[in-house]
Structure 1
Amino acid sequence: MAFRQLRGVRALHTTPPVRQSAAEITSDFLARLTADSSAPNRGQSQADNAARGMIGSVGLRHSPSEDGRRQFRPNEFAEPHVYKESNLYPTQKPRPRPPLLGPSKRVAKQIDPFYIRNANPLDHCTNPLMSMAFIDPIGRIKGRNQTGLTWRSQKMVGKMVRRARAMGVIPHWSNRPAPGGLGERDFNRFSSSRG
């Protein structure tokens, strides 16, 4: 049935406008950034792909159509079986596991801040905020797959964290500082906001 617009009557659009997904916008933005760079390298494209993969894997919000849920439109009738629990809440897709290994040597050299600045992580063992950035909530040292560091920097970061624990700068079993261990201003960063 075709919709005809009557004279003097303005049609109202009740359907939301079609929008680009956040992942497409991000990849378009990265493509524009890489296109602007002069003298593209072969290694650079591999790093760009790795960066795109990392940004794409960040928890972007998905639209309901990507979740497999049915979208309801105005003036559309639905049969009763559509409202069954199995149809309204489809089973969750298995989430992709994080990578078991860290990035390749070439990519790690481009994203490792210690390698880029030619800095030694052991120079920062008295800085609790630096040490706590590389441990998880239980207090374990994060692996290379989570930090993205080079092998050498990862080894030095592990040494830095163990040294900071031995000096009592950071706790052994948590990534939260002991109350009073840091200044009040820095400790507020870790405490949950309470109203």
Structure 2
Amino acid sequence: MLVSEPKLKKDPTSYLKVYKRTVSVTGPLGKLELEIDPFMKIEQDAESNRAILSVEDSNNKEQREMWGTTWAYLQRYIMGVSEGHTALLRLVGIGYRASVERRSGKEDYPGQNFLCLKLGFTHPIEMGIPQGVKVTAASPTRILIEGIDRETIMSFAGRVRKWRPPEPYKGKGVFINDQTIRLKQKKIK
């Protein structure tokens, strides 16, 4: 059974290729690959520049769930290789600072940079930047994370935030994108 929805609108600069159970999405910023389940089918319509995603049995709940999940992943991959993804971190607190530096001897791959954070601990925190991710510290309290894989970007942002999550009494911490927090009132006896 072929169900024609959801359809993926491809960017004119991105290319979608299907090899057995792997979908390869290539664009001007890079290449991403996605493993798909055996019950999924992808057909390409070159005229309308769309890819049609379908499942074998649309009445099966598991297949419908994976249908939507795979569709969302492909949408993110197409957007990632054509435009890229970004995350902006804000450091809110007295003395909170960030910088991007190179550390020799600690790198996992050649040319790896490190994000150095001062978040009120006795020592600075050094985090290795994952491969394929570009991090810039425009100002000491703002960090811009860019890359083609949104999952990698947001997981790195989450690992940075884990050091100082926003706290509700003073409003200090590491905030991701447009995140806000409602301040609580102090309990007065």
User: How does the TM-score come out when normalised to structure 2?
Assistant: 0.24
Q: Which has the higher contact order (CA 8 A, sep 6+)?
A: 2
Which of the two has greater strand per residue? 2
More helix by share: 1
Greater C-alpha Rg: 1
